[in-house]
A = this chain, B = another copy of it.
Amino acid sequence: MGAGRPGYDEKLLEILRAAAAVFAEKGYHRASIRDISRATGISLSGLYYYVRSKEELLFLIQDHCFGTVLDNVERLLAGETDPVRRFRLFVENHVRFFVNNMREMKVLSHEADSLTGEYRRRVQAKKKRYTDLCMSILEELRPPDTGIDLRVATFALFGMLNWIYNWYRPGRDVPVAELADGFSRLFLQGCLSPASGVAEAMPVEPAPSIWRR
């Protein structure tokens, strides 16, 4: 409560922030607790006062990220009923958080499988809630005759959005607003435009293993 010394929670948040940066930089498994000790200035064993294990560190980051994104999108969508506007809000919330917290979001996307047991279950529950929300928005949106599978459309959208950390460089690429705008228009037009003859099917060959001789 005091403005002065940081409390337990503030210190934990600081650790999580630093850990997220380290995990984003080197990947969860390559990162060592010693790296995080260095990044925070807290001694190796001191970290264990705040956190039970390295895995809990990852869990807390992922849980906090998903929690924030979920809370925010649910607050944003609260009064809105127009499907298109709901879609726009969803995309913009996602993109904004991604760009403003790229390191954390990279950890979220990249280390989805690095958790185990109860930790994994809890994060996946939040992830499912988020995915279901997205799918329900798309469902209201979609005209019945587009011929694009809902699941395919949903994950196409997530793919677009989550790939950001692989290429987007703030300052050099288009600003966030434009990015969200671009994604939204691309996806909306892609789903809502009448199917043009321009995209008729082409023969798909067998596609052998990469390792064939």
- A residues with CB within 8 A of B: 1, 9-10, 13, 16-17, 27, 29-30, 64-65, 68-69, 84-85, 88-89, 92, 96-97, 99-101, 104, 110, 112-114, 147-149, 151-153, 155-156, 158-164, 166-168, 173-174, 176-193, 195-196, 198-199, 201-202, 204-205, 207-211, 213
| Cβ-closest chain B residue relative to A13 | B211
In the complex where A100-B208, A199-B84 touch, is A148 in contact with B192 (Cβ < 8 A)? no
In the complex where A158-B163, A163-B162, A181-B199 touch, is A100 in contact with B207 (Cβ < 8 A)? yes
Alpha-carbon separation in the docked complex, A213 to B11 (Å): 12
Interface of A, helix, strand, loop or mixed by DSSP:
helix
How many copies are assembled? 4
Asked if B210 contacts A64 (CB within 8 A), the reply is yes
